[in-house]
Amino acid sequence: MNLMRIVQIATIVWALSEVMLIVMTRRNRHGASPRDRGSRTLLWCVIGAGIAAGTALQSVTAARIRLPEVWVLDVSLLLLVAGFAVRWTAIFTLGRFFSTSVAIHQDHRLVRTGLYCLVRHPSYSGLLLLFLGMGLSFGNWLSLAVIVAPFLAALLYRIQVEESSLMEALGDDYVDYCKTTKRLLPGLF
């Protein structure tokens, strides 16, 4: 099996896992207060449009990544697998508090263990790694840009929605947590 096929399979596994998450977390929302403000829908629209645009632009010769394809695909696969692992580790750490839409439970509590002691949104950090890997797999700088940049913008909106909900629900605990951890990248952002 060639490397490109493995990258494609990894991407399909990620997409199927996201659909599974939506189905699985529907029951987690029972008794929770929804506060999504359209951020999940926005993310999915941006993801779909970004992947479609990335696919359409991958043949633009002037924007080709001028490195051996095997190197690009190796890094792409590494980012996809790392992103998947980070995302699912964060999801399992949150347990029943994880949802694909922003929702606060009556007994919601702050989780500071596992990856959450490093960043406030490790699940989103994992997605960012995934999209970097996916964009890179096209072997084209334009494809990478149209996949990652709009996704990052939508993700930052989602984080703002989520953080305002968590501050409202958890108060000073969450404010203090924000002072000691970065959003997506440990020590940087």
**Whole-number CA gyration radius for the chain:** 17
Total-model pTM = 0.91
**H or E element in which residue 174 lies:** helix 172-180
Q: How far apart are CA 10 and CA 15, in angstroms?
A: 9
pLDDT one digit per residue (tens) for the chain, 189 residues: 799 999 999 999 999 999 999 888 876 556 666 788 889 999 999 999 999 999 999 999 999 999 999 999 999 999 999 999 999 999 999 988 888 888 888 888 999 999 999 999 999 999 999 999 999 999 999 999 999 999 999 999 999 999 999 999 999 999 999 999 999 999 888
Indicate the pairing of strand 32-34 with strand 103-105. antiparallel
Facing residues of 103 across strands?
Answer: 34
CATH class given for the domain over 3-180: mainly alpha
